[in-house]
C-alpha cells in the first residue's frame, strides 16, 4: 500500500511536558497587504546626482568643441603682442587640458555611462578637477592681454572669456559642484589678470579707478552668473526628483496590481476548493435521503448522519463567508481544543456514502488525544486527502489515523492506490512556510518493454 502523509507539529494536552494554551485563540493567517516602502533620501539623492552627472557629461563634448575652436583664434590674436614665453606656456597647458578632457569623455562613455549612483560619483571625484583647471586657464588669458596688447585684442579676449562664463551656465550648471568650481576659478584668474598691473606699476591713478569699477562689474556679473546657475541646477534637480517619484509611484502601482491579481487568483482557488468541499456533504445528504426513502425504518440511524452532514455544510458556508475577511486583510483561523477521535469520525461520516458506493472500507484509528487547531481548516485538509484517496482507490479501502511520535503528531491516510499496480512510487516533499509536493515517481524498470509484457 502507498502512504499519503500530512505531518505538522501539533501541540496538545497529550504531549508530555506541555501546558495547554487558552481554550480559544485567534491567529492571523492572511499575509499583510503589500506596502510599498519609499526609497530612503540617500538612495534618492544618489540617483538624482547620477542623472545630473549624466546631463553634465552630455554637455561636455559641445563645450569641449567650442574651446578647441577658440584656442587657435586666441593664439593668433595674442601672437606678437603678448609675452611669447607666457603665451606658449598658456597654450601648452590649455591644449593639454583639452586633450585630457577629450579622453575623459571617452572614459565616461565606455565605463560610466551605463552605471548609476556611486560609480558616477567616483568619476566626478576622479576628473572633477579638470573643470576647475580649464576655468582658471581661460581666465588667465586676461593676464596675458590686459593693458599689454592692443584694445582690439583685449576686447576679443574679454568676449571669449565672457562667452565661456555664459557657456558654463548651460553646460555645467546641472551639477552644482562642477559649476561652482569652474566659475570660481574663472573669476579668480580674471581678477588676477586685472589687478596684476597695479603692484607692477603698470597702471596710472585714473586706470586704477577704472580697474575698481571693472572689478565691481565683474563681481556683479559673477553673482548673477552664480544665481542663474543655481536656479538652473534646481530646475534640473527638481525635474529628476519628480521623475524618481513618478517611477516609485509606477513601481508601487505595478506591485499593487500584481498583488491584486494574486488575490483574485487566491479567491478563485478558494472558491474552487469550497465548491469541491461542498460537493461531498451534499452528495452524502442525497445518498442518506435515498436510503431514508427506500428504508424508512433506518430513520433513527440515518437522521444523525443527515444532521452531521448538514452541520458540515454550514461550517463550509461559514468558511466561504470568511472570504470577505480575506479581502479585507484580517482573515483569522480559530484555534481551539479539538478531539481527534471526534474529528476523524466527522470526516469518516462525511465520506462514508462515497466509500460505500464504491464498495470500499473507510476506517479511522486514533488513540484519545486533544490537539490545538482550527477544526474547520483541519477537517478540510484531511477531507481533501481522503477524497483523493477514495477517488483513486477501486479495491480495498482507506485508513485515516493519527500516529504519535516523540516530537510531533502525524495524521496519515493509507489507501490501496493504482500506483502500486504499475510499480510506481508516491512520495511527498514538504518545506516549512513553502508548501508540499506529492510526486508520482516512475522507476526506469517500469518504462521498459519487457516489464510491460510481464505486467500484461
Mean pLDDT of the chain: 77
Q: Do residue 163 and residue 106 come from a single domain?
A: yes
Residue 280 lies inside a defined structural domain of this protein: no
Report how many helices (DSSP H) and strands (DSSP E) the chain contains, helices first: 12, 9
Q: Do residue 147 and residue 242 come from a single domain?
A: yes
Residue written as grid cell 575698481 = 212
| pTM for the structure as a whole | 0.54
Q: What is the largest distance, in Å, between two alpha-carbon atoms of the chain?
A: 136
Count the Cβ atoms, other than its own, within 10 Å of residue 33. Answer: 11
Q: Do residue 90 and residue 171 come from a single domain?
A: yes
CA atoms within 13 A on the CB side of 56: 29
**Per the structure, how many domains does the chain have?**
2
Q: Do residue 7 and residue 72 come from a single domain?
A: no
Give the β-pairing of 361-365 and 397-404: parallel
pLDDT at 390: 85
Written in H, E and C, the secondary structure of 355-393 is HHHCCCEEEEECCCCEEEECHHHHHHHHHHHHHHHHHCC
Residue 2 lies inside a defined structural domain of this protein: yes
Could you tell me which residues come within 8 angstroms of residue 193 by beta carbon, excluding any fewer than 6 positions away?
Answer: 139, 140, 141, 142, 143, 144, 145, 146
Q: Do residue 210 and residue 187 come from a single domain?
A: yes
Write out the H or E segment, with its range, that includes residue 300. helix 299-328
| Nearest CA among 411, 441, 445, 410 for reference residue 426 | 441
Residue 218 lies inside a defined structural domain of this protein: yes
Could you tell me which residues come within 8 angstroms of residue 67 by beta carbon, excluding any fewer than 6 positions away?
Answer: 98, 134, 138, 164
pLDDT at 411: 75
Q: Do residue 249 and residue 342 come from a single domain?
A: no
pLDDT at 148: 84
| Nearest CA among 331, 339, 415 for reference residue 371 | 339
DSSP letter for 424, please: -
User: Which one of 230, 254, 278 terminates a domain?
Assistant: 254
The Cα–Cα gap between 243 and 230 comes to 20
Q: Do residue 128 and residue 187 come from a single domain?
A: yes
Residue 12 lies inside a defined structural domain of this protein: yes
Domain containing 22 — which CATH number?
A: 3.30.565.10
The Cα–Cα gap between 355 and 324 comes to 34
Q: Measure CA of the first residue to CA of the last residue in the chain; give whole Å.
A: 21
Q: What pairs with residue 12 in β-bridges?
A: 371
Residue 449 lies inside a defined structural domain of this protein: no
Instruction: List the chain residues with pLDDT less than 70.
Output: 1-37, 198-206, 270-280, 312, 314-333, 416, 418-456
Residue written as grid cell 562613455 = 109
Residue 214 lies inside a defined structural domain of this protein: yes
Residue 279 lies inside a defined structural domain of this protein: no
Contact 103, 153 (CB under 8 A): no
pLDDT at 329: 52
pLDDT at 428: 63
Q: Do residue 373 and residue 407 come from a single domain?
A: yes
User: Which one of 189, 220, 254 terminates a domain?
Assistant: 254
Q: Do residue 97 and residue 220 come from a single domain?
A: yes
Q: Do residue 45 and residue 180 come from a single domain?
A: yes
* Domain limits for position 23: 1-29+331-418
Count the Cβ atoms, other than its own, within 10 Å of residue 428. Answer: 13
Q: Do residue 123 and residue 249 come from a single domain?
A: yes
User: Which one of 237, 254, 271 terminates a domain?
Assistant: 254
| Nearest CA among 380, 353, 373, 351 for reference residue 364 | 351
Write out the H or E segment, with its range, that includes residue 431. strand 425-431
Q: Do residue 23 and residue 97 come from a single domain?
A: no
Contact 332, 28 (CB under 8 A): yes
Residue 186 lies inside a defined structural domain of this protein: yes
Three cell numbers written together for 379:
477537517
User: What secondary structure does DSSP assign to 130-198, as a single string?
Assistant: HHHHHHHHHHHHHHHHTTTS-HHHHHHHHHHHHHHHHHHHHHTTTSHHHHHHHHHHHHHHHHHHHHTTT
pLDDT at 97: 94
Amino acid at each position: 500500500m502507498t502512504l499519503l502523509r500530512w505531518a505538522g507539529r501539533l501541540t496538545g494536552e497529550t504531549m508530555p511536558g506541555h501546558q495547554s494554551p487558552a481554550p480559544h485563540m485567534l491567529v492571523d493567517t492572511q499575509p499583510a497587504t503589500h506596502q510599498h516602502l519609499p526609497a530612503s533620501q540617500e538612495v534618492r539623492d544618489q540617483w538624482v546626482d547620477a542623472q545630473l552627472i549624466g546631463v553634465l557629461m552630455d554637455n561636455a563634448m559641445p563645450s569641449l568643441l567650442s574651446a578647441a575652436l577658440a584656442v587657435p583664434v586666441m593664439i593668433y590674436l595674442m601672437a606678437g603682442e603678448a609675452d611669447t614665453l607666457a603665451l606658449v606656456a598658456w597654450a601648452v597647458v590649455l591644449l593639454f587640458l583639452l586633450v585630457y578632457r577629450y579622453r575623459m569623455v571617452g572614459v565616461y562613455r565606455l565605463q560610466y555611462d551605463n552605471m548609476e549612483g556611486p560609480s558616477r560619483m567616483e568619476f566626478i571625484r576622479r576628473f572633477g578637477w579638470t573643470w576647475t583647471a580649464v576655468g582658471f586657464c581661460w581666465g588667465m588669458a586676461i593676464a596675458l592681454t590686459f593693458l599689454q596688447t592692443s584694445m582690439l585684442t583685449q576686447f576679443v579676449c574679454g568676449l571669449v572669456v565672457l562667452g565661456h562664463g555664459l557657456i558654463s551656465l548651460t553646460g555645467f550648471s546641472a551639477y552644482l559642484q562642477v559649476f561652482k568650481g569652474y566659475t570660481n576659478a574663472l573669476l579668480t584668474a580674471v581678477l588676477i589678470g586685472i589687478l596684476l598691473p597695479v603692484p607692477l606699476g603698470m597702471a596710472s591713478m585714473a586706470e586704477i579707478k577704472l580697474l575698481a569699477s571693472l572689478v565691481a562689474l565683474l563681481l556683479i556679473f559673477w553673482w548673477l552668473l552664480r544665481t542663474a546657475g543655481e536656479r538652473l541646477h534646481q530646475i534640473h534637480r527638481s525635474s529628476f526628483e519628480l521623475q524618481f517619484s513618478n517611477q516609485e509611484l509606477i513601481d508601487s502601482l505595478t506591485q499593487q496590481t500584481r498583488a491584486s491579481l494574486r488575490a483574485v487568483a487566491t479567491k478563485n482557488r478558494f472558491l474552487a476548493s469550497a465548491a469541491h468541499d461542498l460537493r461531498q456533504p451534499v452528495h452524502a445528504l442525497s445518498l442518506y435521503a435515498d436510503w431514508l426513502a427506500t428504508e424508512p425504518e433506518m430513520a433513527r440511524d440515518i437522521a444523525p448522519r443527515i444532521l452531521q452532514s448538514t452541520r458540515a455544510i454550514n461550517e463550509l458556508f461559514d468558511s466561504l463567508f470568511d472570504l470577505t475577511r480575506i479581502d479585507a486583510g484580517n482573515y483569522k483561523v480559530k484555534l481551539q481544543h479539538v478531539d481527534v477521535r471526534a474529528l476523524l469520525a466527522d470526516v469518516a461520516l462525511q465520506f462514508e456514502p462515497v466509500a460505500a458506493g464504491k464498495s470500499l472500507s473507510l476506517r479511522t484509528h486514533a488513540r484519545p488525544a486533544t490537539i490545538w487547531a482550527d477544526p474547520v481548516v483541519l477537517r478540510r485538509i484531511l477531507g481533501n486527502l481522503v477524497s483523493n484517496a477514495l477517488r483513486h482507490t477501486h479495491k480495498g479501502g482507506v485508513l485515516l489515523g493519527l500516529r504519535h511520535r516523540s516530537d510531533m503528531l502525524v495524521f496519515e491516510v493509507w489507501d490501496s492506490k493504482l500506483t502500486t499496480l504499475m510499480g510506481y512510487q508516491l512520495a511527498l516533499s514538504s518545506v516549512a512556510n513553502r508548501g508540499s509536493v506529492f510526486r508520482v515517481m516512475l522507476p526506469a524498470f517500469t518504462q521498459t518493454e519487457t516489464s510491460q509484457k510481464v505486467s500484461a
